[in-house]
Structure 1
Amino acid sequence: MSHALIADLGGTNARFALVPINQYQPQEVRVFSCKEYESFFDAVSTYVEQCSVDFDSIDAIVLAIAGPVNQEVIRFSNNPWHFTRQQVQEHFGLDKKIAFLNDFDAIGHSLEVIPESELEVIGDQTEVDPKAACWVLGAGTGLGVACVVPQDNGANIVLPGEGGHVDLSTCSDQEDYILRFLRERHKRVSAERVLSGMGLENIYEALAHREGIEKRLTAPEIGEAIERGDDPIALATLEQFFVFLGRVTGDLVLSVESRGGVYIAGGIVPRYLKHIKRSAFRDAMQDKGRMKAFVAPIPTFVVMSEYPGLMGCACYAAYLVNQA
């Protein structure tokens, strides 16, 4: 049976898996810490040694990468690995089909195969137009964004970009304070500065400073405080996080009328599903003045699949092999 080797290479972890061509549920998933391997090749060699499938049965390699993939040298936004397409081709063999996807391109392709049962509605359910464009975004180590354009025949078109690095906008006194606080440190403040693991830490520190407290917690420590419910600043941090997420989501919808919906993935939001459901996320998304009626009908979902990036790689691998 023909297989694909698929990988979701992030800023913190590298996830490797195998999948039979034309199937989409990742098998033999292994998660490696990027900092424990000097290079991608060290990590993937370790994985291949553990595979139960003979390497000759692997016909395609599809890599989802946390950073731009249209460069001669592939570099990651939040980890020091780098390589070229030629190096990867030579490593696996000239007879193998190889593709690089931005990590959120991969999640865009996963929308073709993710079961509806793994999508959680945020806000009132509104009609999805399956032929209309949609957005995928998600906060984790960084903030990823991609626009998906469905196709009647062939793979969906995923328009890649680095939308997580757009300028941050504010609409309240508290948000103005956070922006000023972060501007003193970074000069230019992007959306990723508040919508990421680092972003949670930044929001917490800014809100603490506003209360006259010099304190910064790590993202895991903030998560622990939220679960305990004994730290008002931690709870306010998460609420502000979802408000910023709503503002950015609404801006995306204004940029492309995404009647196909907005799909939120990444490592943070699915972890706090009950919190986003009762947050002001949708209110902030729709807070667009006279354009509220334009934004309000757009449905939003949280992607609860464990490995959506790998599922997207599997979907793309099938197109890659079948069109050969």
Structure 2
Amino acid sequence: MNVLIGDIGGTKTILAIFSSEAGPNKPLVEMTYPSTHYASLEAIIAEFLAAVKLPAASACFAIAGPIVAGRARVTNLTWVVDSDNLKSTFMWPEVKLLNDLESVAYAIAILGPGDIHTINPGVPVQGGNIAVLAPGTGLGEAFLTYSNGRYQAHASEGSHVSFGPVGQLQIGLLQYMNQQGHSHVSYERVCSGGLGIPNLYAYLKSIGHAAEPAWLAEKLAVAEDSTPIIVNAAQDHTRPCELAIATLNLFITILGAEAGNLALKILSSGGIYLGGGISPRILAGLENPAFLDALRSKGRFREMLTKYPVHVILNPKAGLLGAAAFGLSPS
């Protein structure tokens, strides 16, 4: 049986055909489309099916955005994805929708050793809850619980809770963000690529934490996306930039603290997994003791958190594979 699987984001949409025979790790065919070039998901699906000429008995889509009653509005797009409309349009008896972080969570069970980098092996509890955080354009969060012989993923908007600063530097960050007009400062606003890293950089620059080199200022002045420039500058050992390094270090400590927050809330004795586009690019920083120290600095629960495994998901298509695992599984 073939199933159409999609990973739907505001920038790109990946569609693929998976089969129950080949399993969720091996798509029969896969294509990527620029989401903003199409008026709807239906338009992309129609083009894809016409090109691949393979039948699909059902479909499953991972979507960047909350799903309510089988409907979802894709983040940063005007699309509304409706499972009932997709069923009627393509004559599918079943269409599954899940949040994009749920799909990353479902991928964990099927990822191979080469898809994972371990920060802390810990002492995993079999069947223990699992926390998933994915800093990318935003900060996604989800978690897994074990029941009836398998893990079930749960969506969350946990990154939108109020940022809890630790230490004077982070307290200053919160005050700075308030002064910029943000009465509510979420973790996503200070711990993501789209918002967080540029905000951290601007804050540290504003307080004179370090000088901004002219070459970096010139790059940032013409950049549409400043985050990769700042991250690359922080990891460029040929010409060290103290301001960029401080920005990345602050980001890593805030990420560690929020990973510890989620781990405590769900008691993730099965492990903590970091996904998203940023985590694999900053492995050296995550290996720095400051990350785990921020994660574990929870008072009397420090010893417990020390036992929790911490891993980084390296496979950039974990979301697609997780959606395939979910789509191929019995309802």
TM (norm. structure 1) is: 0.90
Deviation of residue 108 (structure 1)? 1.5
Q: What does residue range 147-162 of structure 1 map to in structure 2 within 5 Å?
A: 147-153=143-149, 155-162=150-157
The CA deviation at 1:26 is 4.5
Change (3 A) 1:47 1:151: same
Is 2:58–2:92's contact at 8 Å kept on the other side of the alignment? no
Q: Render the CA deviation track for 1:269-305: whole Å, top value 9, x for unaligned.
A: 1122222112511000011122212222111100112
Give the aligned partner of residue 25 of structure 1. Answer: 25
Contact 1:68 1:102 in 2 (8 A): yes
Gapped regions of structure 2 (runs ≥ 5): none
Q: Which residue of 2 aligns with 1:178?
A: 173
Q: How many residues align?
A: 314
Q: Which residue identity lines up with residue 166 of structure 2 in the other structure?
A: C
1:76 Cα deviation (Å)?
2.4
Q: State which drifts further: 140-149 or 219-228.
A: 219-228
The reply on whether 1:11 has 2:25 as its aligned counterpart is: no
Q: Distance in 2 between matches of 1:306 and 1:72?
A: 26
Give the whole-Å Cα distance in 2 for the aligned partners of 1:186 and 1:47: 42
- Where does residue 286 of structure 2 map in the other structure? 276
SS of the equivalent of 1:224 reads helix
Q: Give, in whole Å, the separation in 1 of the partners of 2:42 and 2:235.
A: 38
Task: Give the stretch that moved more between structures: 82-91 or 224-233.
Answer: 224-233
Residue type of the alignment partner of 1:273? L
Q: How big is each residue's C-alpha offset from its partner over 1:58-96, in whole Å with a ceiling of 9 and x where there is no partner?
A: 11211001111124641123333223222221222143x
Is contact 1:134-1:261 (8 Å) kept?
yes
Q: Which residue of 2 aligns with 1:143?
A: 139
Mapped partners of 1:278, 1:84: distance in 2: 44
Normalising by structure 2, report the TM-score: 0.88
Whether the 8 Å contact between 1:17 and 1:26 is mirrored in structure 2 is: no
The correspondence of residues 228-307 of structure 1 with structure 2, limited to 5 A, is 228-229=236-237, 230-278=240-288, 280-307=290-317
Does the 8 Å CA contact 1:130/1:260 hold for their aligned counterparts? Answer: yes
Opposite residue 85 of structure 1, the aligned amino acid is S
Q: Sequence identity of aligned pairs in percent?
A: 27
SS at match of 2:103: helix
Cα RMSD (Å) of the superposition? 2.1
Residue in structure 2 matching 1:131, options 127, 130, 136: 127
| Structure 2: distance between partners of 1:295 and 1:173 | 24
Please state how far the C-alpha of 1:42 moved relative to its aligned partner: 2.4
Deviations 1:245-267 (A, max 9, x none): 11101111211211100111111
Instruction: Judge conservation of contact 2:131–2:268 (CA < 8 Å) in 1.
Output: yes
Q: Secondary structure at the match of 2:156?
A: coil
SS in 1 for 2:137: coil
Structure 1: stretches of 5+ with no match in the other structure? none
Tell me the amino acid that sits aligned with residue 3 of structure 1.
N
Q: Distance in 2 between matches of 1:173 and 1:227?
A: 25
1:189-213 alpha-carbon deviations (Å, 9 max, x no partner):
1111122212111111111111187
What residue in structure 1 maps to residue 108 of structure 2?
111
Equivalent residue number for residue 99 of structure 2: 102
Tell whether the 8 Å contact from 1:247 to 1:287 is kept in structure 2 after alignment. Answer: yes
CA distance, structure 2, for counterparts of residue 106 and residue 143 of structure 1: 15
Q: For 1:151 and 1:72, locate their aligned partners in 2 and report how far apart those are by CA, in whole Å.
A: 23
